[in-house]
Amino acid sequence: MTTTELFVALLNSMKERNSKELKWPNEGMFEVVVGAVLVQNTNWRNVEKALENLKDAGKMSLSAICELDTTSLANLIKPSGFYNTKAKRLRTLCLAMRESFDDFENFKENASREWLLGVKGVGAETCDAILAYACGRAVMVVDAYVLRILDFLGYGFDSYDEAQEWLSGLEYSKIYEILDDEIYDEVEILKLYHILVLEFCKQNFKGKILSERGRAILGEAG
């Protein structure tokens, strides 16, 4: 099975979904950076509560978070869990962004994977989520959902980068037989791929147990 076959099988399984639903919340906005840090070791529902707290307090901006002390930030993001650690990581990242790029728009245009991975507390998954969904870069995010599918399919990659390389090796000529190339460039396709994986796993996995429907869908990719 190829990564292209997997992508097509997942896409076909979501035909009934509106394409607007298969989007990351608030793509291209600073909120994505915050969410990428807060989602570590928790579910998105808890993250949403923390994000709302920041918005309600008028602190959903790079400058606002930089001006907060760690304790105040931790109190606002408490619903996301591990809030003291996350407050330190988020503030460290925001201060580094301000020092290196001045503002979020400049960060979006000029931040690199190397730079992000050099910030304490930013791992590969968090880095790539920021690059893909905040900065609009052609990056495939490899998270727990992605690894769950790869594990079921029997792929045992030795590293994050190996898994990412395999997933990113799409045959775009075949994909453009299905998708409009005027709407979906490489950036949009890789984001869509990740979202398809998320939605598939939410619908078909209970823990590590895959539903019969899920098995049938992945069987089509084999």
pLDDT of residue 77: 98
pLDDT of residue 154: 92
The count of structural domains within the chain is: 2
Question: Do 85 and 42 fall within a single domain?
Answer: yes
Domain endpoint, select from 96, 118, 133: 133
Residue-wise pLDDT for 191-201, tens only, equals 999 999 999 99
Is it the case that residue 110 has pLDDT exceeding 90? yes
Average pLDDT over residues 163-171: 97
Question: Do 161 and 210 fall within a single domain?
Answer: yes
pLDDT class for 20, splitting at 50, 70, 90?
A: low
Residue-wise pLDDT for 77-87, tens only, equals 999 999 999 99
pLDDT class for 24, splitting at 50, 70, 90?
A: confident
Question: Do 9 and 76 fall within a single domain?
Answer: no
Question: Do 70 and 105 fall within a single domain?
Answer: yes
Residue-wise pLDDT for 25-71, tens only, equals 899 999 999 999 999 999 999 999 999 999 999 999 999 999 999 99
pLDDT of residue 131: 98
3-state secondary structure the chain: CCHHHHHHHHHHHCCCCCHHHCCCCCCCCHHHHHHHHHCCCCCHHHHHHHHHHHHHCCCCCHHHHHHCCHHHHHHHCHHHCCHHHHHHHHHHHHHHHHHHHCCHHHHHHHCCHHHHHCCCCCCHHHHHHHHHHCCCCCCCCCCHHHHHHHHHCCCCCCCHHHHHHHHHCCCHHHHCCCCCCCCCCHHHHHHHHHHHHHHHHHHHEECCEECHHHHHHHHHHC
Question: Do 146 and 174 fall within a single domain?
Answer: yes
Residue-wise pLDDT for 135-166, tens only, equals 999 999 999 999 999 999 999 899 999 999 99
Question: Do 162 and 147 fall within a single domain?
Answer: yes
Residues 6+ apart with CB under 8 A from 148: 201, 205, 208
pLDDT of residue 186: 96
Is it the case that residue 21 has pLDDT exceeding 80? no
pLDDT of residue 88: 98
pLDDT of residue 78: 97
Is it the case that residue 222 has pLDDT exceeding 70? no
- Domain interval for residue 146: 3-22+139-221
pLDDT of residue 220: 66
CATH number, domain of 129, equals 1.10.340.30
Question: Do 90 and 150 fall within a single domain?
Answer: no
Question: Do 88 and 162 fall within a single domain?
Answer: no
Question: Do 58 and 107 fall within a single domain?
Answer: yes
Question: What pTM was computed for the model?
Answer: 0.94
Question: Do 148 and 105 fall within a single domain?
Answer: no
Domain endpoint, select from 100, 133, 166: 133
Question: Do 37 and 114 fall within a single domain?
Answer: yes
pLDDT class for 169, splitting at 50, 70, 90?
A: very high
Domain endpoint, select from 133, 150, 165: 133
pLDDT of residue 116: 98
Is it the case that residue 221 has pLDDT exceeding 70? no
